[in-house]
Amino acid sequence: MSLPDATGCHAIVLAAGAGSRFGGGKLLAPFRGRPLIYWSVAAALSSRVTSVTAVLGARADDVAAALAPFADRRLSLVRCRHWEEGLSASLTYGLRTLPLDTRAVAIFLGDMPDLDPGLADRVLTEVVGGAPAAYPECRGLPGHPVALSSELFPLIESLKGDQGARAVLAGQSGVIRVPTDDPGSIADIDTRHDLKRLGP
């Protein structure tokens, strides 16, 4: 499903964490010939969103260098000084960088390299159509990217620590689950074993 009107639709890629369970440097780890973070950003840029914002934190200079090959003017990099406070800090910081006329945003995680690029457009289409949020569901499990209406942004601001958008969605009615057969929507990389398992 192609997003019919991408006006006011944006994407955020959360790429601020240190990857402690991985042993550090997770987003810079080689994966299919590129740094791991490259693939999430590529998926976001493959959607019809107006802009893609990558929120950096740990080893920000190195992650920025890893994204230098992208020549797409829609991509911007921002640095969250409080990234060590958890996922919620980088998520809320990213939302604050969006234009005032934002209607919806798709949230990508930097450690999910196998996402179907079309999923962002599908979940955003649901939000543009009136849903407060939408997310992919594969094998009965919730996945990414999660799309949020700007109406939920104030609630996101209340999150703390490693809470993500899903903590807010649990209390919302009308959230749309978008069925998908794409295992990449639920496959993130936490450890080096995960990296080998998802590799070529």
Q: What is the pLDDT of residues 109-160, one digit of tens each?
A: 999 999 998 999 999 999 999 999 999 999 999 999 999 999 999 999 888 8
Q: Which helix (H) or strand (E) holds 79?
A: strand 75-79
Judge if pTM exceeds 0.85: yes
Tell me, what DSSP letter sits at residue 157?
T
At 167, is the pLDDT very low, low, confident or very high (cuts 50, 70, 90)?
Answer: confident
Q: Where would I find the H helices in the chain?
A: 36-45, 60-66, 87-96, 118-128, 153-156, 166-169, 192-198
pLDDT tens digits, 70-92: 988 999 999 999 999 989 999 99
How many angstroms separate the CA atoms of 26 and 194, rounded?
Answer: 11
Q: What is the pLDDT of residue 114?
A: 94
Q: How far, in whole angstroms, is CA 124 from its chain's centroid?
A: 13
> Phi/psi at 30 (nearest 5 deg)?
-65, 135
117 token code pair: 């690029």
> Domains of the chain (ranges plus CATH)?
9-198 (3.90.550.10)
Q: Which helix (H) or strand (E) holds 124?
A: helix 118-128
How many angstroms separate the CA atoms of 157 and 168, rounded?
Answer: 10
| Helices (H) then strands (E): counts for the chain | 7, 10
- State the average pLDDT for the chain: 93
